[in-house]
Amino acid sequence: MSERQEEFIEQEGALLYAVLWGGAQAGRTPVVLLHDSLGAVALWRDFPARLAQATGLPVIAYDRAGFGRSTARSEALSPDFIAAEAHGSLQAVLQHFGVAQAVLFGHSVGGGMAVSAAAQMPQRVLAVITESAQAFVEERTLEGIRDARASFADQDQLARLAKYHGNDPQQARWVLSAWIDTWLSPSFAQWSLAPMLARLTCPVLALHGDLDEFGTLAHPRMIAGLPCAFPGQGQFQVLAQCGHVPHREQPDQVLVAVKDFLLRLGIL
């Protein structure tokens, strides 16, 4: 397995937890992973190590502020939290590891964050890979969130979530609220990735399962159909019989897709 290096990074009086797989950069472009709404480094499981091994590139994953082993938060997320991540935890992580340019790989809401960061930092992001990303507020997404809210009324479910967020039920409740209450808020209803997609200048690969319970294929089509700065800028791949977490459900297919994409770009 790939070498693993854990770090705690100071950001505005708080600490961010991050892990690097695959050793020092040594001129190699790292892949930076951005987790989903309930996610954390631990929930990527063995995928980062496998990605580092498959590509030969360093892989960095981090817990956003308030998540995982990073310092807990109590304030509600702002409606612009997806775009704001570029100048929040992500910026601190890139600076800490001395990353001049990166490939961003975002799962679910992390995919929206990856696109937004690339749009705002075109010189620092060489390519974006989204996995199960949302591009707008779709009723199917909201239905999935309402179903999840009902399931988390079970305290055992909340306890399982807390294991990945400081073993702290209060932090787990904040994580849950940051997802459910933000997405179901009327102030978030008109959110769309369209303005960021219009500014994007790097290549994008959108991966999406055909059984994704949090979004239809309208999302990868929109991401791949972005206003193109050059021919073939956006592409999408549908994973058959796959739900919302392809890197756990079909990791081999995801690794092949990512490796092929990066080979075509000359990053590998």
Burial of 253 (0-12, 13-18, 19+ CB in 10 A): middle
| 144 domain residue, yes or no | no
Show pLDDT as tens, one digit a residue, over the chain (268 residues): 568 999 999 988 899 999 999 987 667 899 999 999 999 999 999 999 999 999 999 999 999 999 999 999 999 999 999 999 999 999 999 999 999 999 999 999 999 999 999 999 999 999 999 999 999 999 999 999 999 999 888 888 899 999 999 999 999 999 999 999 999 999 999 999 999 999 999 999 999 999 999 999 999 999 999 988 888 899 999 999 999 999 999 999 999 999 999 999 999 9
| 60 domain residue, yes or no | yes
**CA atoms of 182 and 198, how far apart (whole Å):** 24
Q: Which residues pair with 8 in a beta bridge?
A: 17
* Domain, as residue range, for 211: 4-136+192-263
| 259 domain residue, yes or no | yes
Report how far apart, in Å, the C-alpha atoms of 107 and of each of 34, 117, 139 are: 6, 14, 19
Q: Specify the DSSP element, H or E, that contains 256.
A: helix 251-265
How, if at all, do strands 125-131 and 102-107 pair?
A: parallel
Say what the pLDDT of residue 242 is: 98
| 119 domain residue, yes or no | yes
| 153 domain residue, yes or no | no
| 56 domain residue, yes or no | yes
| 244 domain residue, yes or no | yes
Question: Could you please report the per-residue DSSP string of 141-201?
Answer: HHHHHHHHHHHTTSHHHHHHHHTTTTT-HHHHHHHHHHHHHHHHSGGGTT-BSHHHHHH--
Say what the pLDDT of residue 2 is: 66
Say what the pLDDT of residue 25 is: 67
Say what the pLDDT of residue 66 is: 95
Query: φ and ψ at 213, to 5 degrees?
Result: -80, -5
> Which residue, chain included where needed, has tokens 């807990």?
72
Split into its structural domains, the chain has a count of 1
Say what the pLDDT of residue 1 is: 53
Which CATH number belongs to the domain containing residue 259 in this structure? 3.40.50.1820
| 160 domain residue, yes or no | no
